[in-house]
Structure 1
């Protein structure tokens, strides 16, 4: 067996043997964005098709298509998959041109990030927290998209409330799209491991209501996403954040509130994409 495959087999074995709740984890949909073997130098990533996402000819065509991403205000982006599934992030009851998205995600930091009375037509309401204080745990497959979350803590009256925020990851059309939510603390190695690869990341850039620009730029640089989408623009000027990201990131001011992207059309150089309305 080639040396690289030995590393991969060892990594996969270590993951399922040592991970807490590995029996439950093995039943979850396969995540193409998670690097199981990332802790081992020289190991390559597996790219397998999960049973839950076995592609019919129709889904194969959808998976190779383009994803539309529209800025709908504050920290809400609307993602439309090739199969036509609509997803609204940090949904507060309003999502731009989409009256009732198929999927909505929410975080509890402020009322502008959630609603307790979502439209009954919304098929999947994914809250980034649980009312009983336990960690939210989402693994939803809807047509051509797989949605999962990684919980983080939030500030609550000066103290940190465990698992009050979720980073949501949307896996669709060979793209890994992440929304950091109302992030209140730097991410640890375990968070990055749970997030995996992000081709596109939506980042709060208020400079203090969530994290300082310096702390947020450190997270954004480590994620190494091809496209960075600012959101939650309040407080410090966006230009401060852009300058701190440095010359390694191009900046593209789009004369519109939406764009389409595919795995093949991702920019070669990391780009901060500023949509109209940000």
Structure 2
């Protein structure tokens, strides 16, 4: 009987790729039988390694919330990754892209929890009741896999392709917003390059958070007060190599800005 993939070795390959800022071939190329459950175990192993190194979990991100992306990856539900304190960049600060491989940027309404959430059976309304604030946010995603040539298992193992998070200074209560359908825009170097709506996030961003709470709840894990949760992107992601500035605009919520310096490993 053949043994399964070496999850410890695959986790190490991803860590080494991130540290060296050099992409690797997709994990599913060398381990075609890798399952989604095994990919989440790889993610967990690397999360433990980061915690051992002193990093702190500040929240989670959710991916594959848009139906078009679920069709692309042949799945019927999202995926998730961990957000660590080292990933957060202050609004208006300069992000050095030379620390990243092939980054892209997304616009999201971030949720900041005021009280814990734990599945099973968490609903959208329970998410909204547990949320203190909604803030405009950037998620900078990056793949340790060469050319973003990924399957679902690859991005799950790679912590949902997470890299950096920027939270805006403005914040509003959930009840102040029409969260189900807020227009959004991504502006790079003063040019509007993407527009979208929060309706693209499972029909309502809080549905993404409810899915996350229930997915984690199946493993006995809850979401804690104060955690920052990214429900999924309201726009298509956009590469940022060569860019100097970014601004996200979310209707009725506000804006968030970020400046860039340096060049990533992969450039146009």
Q: Under a length normalisation based on structure 1, what TM-score does the superposition of the two structures give?
A: 0.28
Q: Under a length normalisation based on structure 2, what TM-score does the superposition of the two structures give?
A: 0.29
Greater RCO (Cα-Cα under 8 Å, separation 6 or more): 2
